[in-house]
Amino acid sequence: MNEITDTLAVLAVDDEPPALDELAFLLRARPEVGHVHTAGEATTALRLLQGGGIDAVFLDISMPGLDGLELAGILRNFATPPDVVFVTAHDDRAVSAFDLGAVDYVLKPLREERLAEAVRRIAQRRAPATGTDTTPGDEVIPVELGGITTLVPRSSVRWVEADGDYARLHTDTASHLVRIPLSSLESRWADAGFLRVHRSYLVALPLVTGIRSVGSGLVVCMRPVGDEAPVELPVSRRHTRELKDRLIRGPMQSWTSR
């Protein structure tokens, strides 16, 4: 884990005073946080943010006037935008939140340990790289199941499968359903070596061992885990050329056809 050398300056935004007081209290209790600013609505928050010096915003969604999603959209245009964590009672806005580049999405009622995870993620993102076992810029996807949050690093994902408006992240040990469409992950993870090979599949190119013909189509072969059989995923015609070009250009493997 990266060593945290500097504390964070954060802004808590919520139009309900009790909720704002609780959020600010929990943030002040975190050792990673040095100073907590507060705002009771988004317009005041925007004025504070325009003054600079704030590392992260913990932001409610439903507020009068400018709502949290609209404020996050404005922050994306900042030269150096703060990290954004949504803290909300709405469990159906995660897709929009992650499309806006949110670092995390924390559901109310607040749980101290869940908020602590969000703070740690921001601190690690902003800590200087040390050459340890973390991957620089490695995005982490929070997965909620039965009240337990699991943080899934992007670097552990082998491929992603579309499931309606959701996506299923496949790792070496499990699969996780998240409320994020495949198209969003395709654009967000393109620079991290992920490529769309089919309308239903996004793959990590460094884990591709080759492609081969099956009937009139192609499949992409994923590196096996242990003694398990290799996973083969279909490749659509429209994605074939880009896949071959990327594999040929890349240093990780060649493609074969038989």
CATH number of the domain to which 220 belongs: 2.40.50.1020
Question: Which among 218, 254, 210 is positioned nearest to 239, based on CA atoms?
Answer: 218
Residue 131 has a pLDDT of 41
Q: What total of structural domains would you count in the chain?
A: 2
Report the percent of the chain where pLDDT is more than 70: 88
Residue 225: what are its φ and ψ, rounded to 5°? -105, 115
pLDDT at 251 over 70: no
Question: Which among 115, 142, 121 is positioned nearest to 19, based on CA atoms?
Answer: 115
Question: Which among 159, 177, 153 is positioned nearest to 222, based on CA atoms?
Answer: 159
Residues 12 and 74 in one domain: yes
Residue 137 has a pLDDT of 62
Helix (H, G, I), strand (E, B) or coil at 221: strand
Residue 166 exposed, middle or buried by CB count within 10 Å (0-12, 13-18, 19+) = middle
CB 34 within 8 A of CB 7: yes
Helix axes 112-126, 17-28, angle to 10 degrees: 60
Residue 128 has a pLDDT of 59
pLDDT at 219 over 60: yes
- Report the CATH number at residue 31: 3.40.50.2300
Furthest-apart CA atoms within the chain: distance in Å: 66
Residues 115 and 152 in one domain: no
Residues 125 and 158 in one domain: no
Residues of the domain holding 74: 8-130
Mean per-residue pLDDT of the chain: 85
Cα–Cα distances in angstroms (integers) from residue 15 to residues 1, 45, 70, in the given order: 35, 11, 15
The lowest-confidence range among 30-34, 67-71, 128-132 is 128-132
Residue-wise pLDDT for 86-97, tens only, equals 999 987 787 788
pLDDT at 116 over 50: yes
Q: Who wins on pLDDT, 249 or 150?
A: 150
CB 220 within 8 A of CB 205: no
Asked whether residue 37 is assigned to any structural domain, the reply reads: yes
The lowest-confidence range among 15-29, 77-91, 137-151, 237-251 is 137-151
